[in-house]
Amino acid sequence: MSEELILMIVGYVVSVLLEVIPGFKEWWSDVAHKRPVLFGLCMGVPIVVWLLVCAAGLPIPVVVACTFMGFVDILALGLAAFFGSQGGFVTFSQYTQNARARNGYDVEV
């Protein structure tokens, strides 16, 4: 399992939730707690995969060690996926904020 796979699954889950659950799209656009939700998903997806492979024995084509250290490793991947996604968001939002300020647009603080 890789950070990219975790982020792909998290993105897919959020996209499905946005389309399937009535009112979720409006809540998501106004929510101030996107980071905790994304953190929960980035940590939850690896835990679910570990449980499906190790506890349930499902033949998912993901290399996961079914030990305590395997569990810790998969949690570390979830944490790295979260930090990677948030690092990109912070960098991009700062870049667009600076670009808007240079071009004379109103900048929200």
For 11-69, the DSSP string reads HHHHHHHHHHSTTHHHHHHH-S-HHHHHHHHHHHHHHHHHIIIIIS----S-----SHH
Residue 1 pLDDT more than 70? no
**Which sequence spans correspond to the domains of the chain?**
3-102
pLDDT of residue 96: 62
Q: Span 96-104, mean pLDDT?
A: 65
13 confidence band (pLDDT: 50, 70, 90): confident
- Highest mean pLDDT: which range of 62-66, 75-79, 94-98, 102-106: 75-79
